[in-house]
Amino acid sequence: MIRVSGLTKIFEGGNKAIDDLSLKVKQGEILALLGPNGAGKTTTIRVLTTLSGFDKGEVEVAGFNVDSDPESVRCAIGLVAQKTGVDHFLSGRENLMLQGRLYRMNTADIESRITELAKYFELDDALDRTVMTYSGGMQRKLDIATALIHKPKVLFLDEPTLGLDIKSRQNLWRYINKLNKEQGLTILLTTHYLEEADHLSHRVAIINQGKIQIIDTPEALKNDIHGDAVILNFDSQGPETGDFTYAMHEDTEIKDVVWQNDKLHVYVDNGGSAVPKLVHLAKEKGLVIKSLSLSQPSLDDVFLKYTGTTLDEVGEEEGDEWWHQWAGKSGGGSKWQKNWGQWQDKIEASGTEAGKAGWQDKMQEWQNKDNSNQSEQANLADTENSQQPQDNKHNKGQQQATDKPPEPDKQQDWPQQPWSGKDPDDWQKWQQPDKDK
Amino acid sequence: MLADTWHLFLKYTKITLRMPMWTLFTLIQPLLWLIIFTQLFKNFVQAPTDGGSYIDFFVPGVLVMTALFGSSWSGVSLLREITAGSVDKMLVSPVSRVAIVLSRVMHSAVQVVLQTLTIMLVAWAFGANLNLDPINLFLAMVSIFLLGVGLAALSNGFAIILQREEPLVMIGNLMTLPLMFLSTAMVPKQFMPGWIEAVSLVNPITYAVESVRAVLVGTPDLGTYGFGLAIMLVFAGLSLAWAVSAFNGLRD
């Protein structure tokens, strides 16, 4: 249904948005393009849907060449872009009607199709209200319905559930799955929700810097990364926890140990045999384990392996790529964009340094004020700024003990991890659905 | 292409009808001009306005001004549509690309004609002495319509090239006021300093005003009207062609 070979697109200024990308999507398949921001997902979709030109390669969609026969491609595809293109001042019915008109369908066909789609997406009641009154999820459903009005053979979904709450998201997944199963619709979707790619797609293509790093089924990708992740949470933290983590480093079965705030992530080959060992070790060191969970490797880990990047800063990509698209041929635009980009880089470069330093200073200031603070952060501040002798000794001890494993204070390094470290519960969120499966 | 244009035109019209306040607001400014200027310049007896009162002379100017203010912002909503994703939605469909620009421009021009008619009604209530028989009215409206097409097309073209709302609004401001003052909308040619008169000769607004004035005020002068109309046709045609080509250049 979709055949892309050697697709290359270079933005003005020499940036390679898509770099020699090749992929095939079979009829009735759902392929997810998974990648960090700026990976070229949206650009790829725009090329495949005739919205963008490209520099090299062959692109065929639904049997038609995108370059030489865009008109036929347009008739055979539907696109749900990141921005809902539905008109807020029109009712759902009017939006669908207009869309049908744009595909030159006759009135009777459009009307019967509207009835069908409204029923399918459970929009019957809202059909004659203006879109302004719709919820985000409803708007997205209407958007998908308008993209389906002409019964396309291929549906493109660009970040279909971006900005939706969990419930609407799952709801939408149900529809997308159903569309694929019942109507055999071929779907190419982009996402940076690992969970979404895992849940929806037959195959996942991990894309980074305009290149496809790997394409395979979610299961195969996950099998690629052996082992399990054990997450431990202790009653208290002190020198014993440091001892504990240090001791684990000597165990060959344990591949990696990472602290995330008060949680300890232990990557092991086999969770089943590692858990008793860990519990035993904890007991030996006199530690009380508050909670322990064991999970399978998720696409999270796969993603990190192939791209070496994280999936945060949601929303940056669209703005950026969007601007590139439209600034294309028009003199001033791209120049401004470039200057702006340079400025931002500068600000960011100087900003983070200053920010970091400022943050640490602040921390120390707070800690100094609060001598009785026994938390990890307090200890940290003390080692650097030894103004509290009584705490200092205790601290040093721990510092040595935890020498090897990452200390809890190393939060600035956390972007290394896919769960970004901003919200300690993020990790759990990612893991949870996996377990459910 | 025509069917596409028609359906999109209907869409824009529906949207406009759902927020009538906006259309009303664009009427306020020309109304203020009409009231203030006619009151202010009432006693300029020496103004060579071909015997009529100043309000008679000024009404065509206000009508053209309405068109100027009404259609020069058409590009702003195009930018909104681009940001909202509606334009992409149209572009992935097989709809004619020309129709997208054309429908916007037509919508704007029709809106302007309706606004102009409202203003004319007010002017008539103020006691302006105009030739309001259907033929003259129709001819005047054709001219206004073409002016609206030309200005809306320019605005859409600039919108596509500039990509940003702020500079577009700036250009709009920069364009509308001088265009109006450097034309014969408010002051007759004889009244102008030489250089302004020279500028007014290359200002399309002048010809729009002159053509409207030729049929609405005093004895209808079809020669002047015809010339003005021809200029309007060229202006509308060129602007439209430019806007369409800018829009086609959108695909990168």
What digits encode the pLDDT tens for the residues B207-237?
Answer: 999 999 999 888 888 888 999 999 999 999 9
Find the mean pLDDT for residues A17-26: 89
Whether residue B45 is contained in a domain is answered as no
C-alpha–C-alpha distance, residues A417 and A35, integer Å: 15
Find the mean pLDDT for residues A9-26: 86
Give the residue with greater pLDDT, A120 vs A308: A120
Of B7, B15, B92, nearest to A87 by CB-CB distance is B15
C-alpha–C-alpha distance, residues A265 and A434, integer Å: 16
pLDDT of residue B143: 94
Domain encompassing residue B178: 2-6+54-248
pLDDT of residue A284: 82
pLDDT of residue A353: 47
Asked whether B120 and B96 are in contact (CB, 8 A), the reply is: no
Q: Which residue of B has its CA nearest to A78?
A: B92
**Contact (CB<8Å) B7/A146:** no
Give the residue with greater pLDDT, A137 vs A321: A137
Whether residue B139 is contained in a domain is answered as yes
- Contact status of A79 with chain B (Cβ, < 8 Å): yes
Whether residue B31 is contained in a domain is answered as no
The pLDDT of residue A196 is above 70: yes
CA triple A186-A191-A197, angle to 5 deg: 65
CATH number (domain holding residue A87):
3.40.50.300
Whether residue B115 is contained in a domain is answered as yes
- DSSP state letters, A206-244: EEETTEEEEEE-HHHHHHHS-SEEEEEEES--SHHHHHH
Whether residue B183 is contained in a domain is answered as yes
Looking at the predicted complex, does its ipTM rise above 0.95?
no
Whether residue A287 is contained in a domain is answered as no
Find the mean pLDDT for residues A55-64: 90
pLDDT of residue A147: 92
* Residue A24 three-state SS: strand
**Contact (CB<8Å) A332/B94:** no
Q: What tens digit of pLDDT does each residue of B51-110 get?
A: 567 788 888 888 998 898 888 888 898 998 888 888 888 989 998 889 999 999 999 999
* Residue A29 three-state SS: coil
Q: Which residue of A has its CA nearest to B157?
A: A330
Domain encompassing residue A37: 2-222
Tokens describing residue A297: 């490797």
Q: Which residue of A has its CA nearest to B99?
A: A102
Whether residue A100 is contained in a domain is answered as yes
Whether residue A247 is contained in a domain is answered as no
Q: How many domains does chain A have?
A: 1
Closest-CA distance of chain B to residue A360, Å: 40
Whether residue A424 is contained in a domain is answered as no
Q: How many domains does chain B have?
A: 1
Whether residue B16 is contained in a domain is answered as no
The residue type found at B199 is V
> Which residue from A330, A82, A317, A305 is spatially nearest to A210, judged by alpha carbons?
A317
Tokens describing residue B18: 């759902």
Among the residue ranges B14-28, B130-144, B187-201, the one predicted with the least confidence is: B14-28
Residue to mutate among B14, B88, B248, with most A CBs inside 10 A, is: B88
Q: What value does the mean pLDDT of chain A take?
A: 73
- Contact status of B14 with chain A (Cβ, < 8 Å): yes
Beta bridge partners of A64: A61
Residue to mutate among B12, B18, B90, B93, with most A CBs inside 10 A, is: B93
Find the mean pLDDT for residues A390-401: 42
**Contact (CB<8Å) A81/B89:** yes
User: Please, which pLDDT band fits residue A312 given cuts at 50, 70 and 90?
Assistant: very low
**Contact (CB<8Å) A85/B82:** no
Closest-CA distance of chain A to residue B38, Å: 39
Among the residue ranges A3-17, A151-165, A224-238, A302-316, the one predicted with the least confidence is: A302-316
Find the mean pLDDT for residues A394-413: 42
SS3 of chain A: helix, strand, coil, percent, to 5: 50, 20, 30
Whether residue A84 is contained in a domain is answered as yes
pLDDT of residue B237: 95
E strands, A240-359, are 254-260, 263-268, 289-295
Whether residue A430 is contained in a domain is answered as no
C-alpha–C-alpha distance, residues A364 and A357, integer Å: 11
Which residues on A lie below 8 Å from B160 (Cβ)? 330
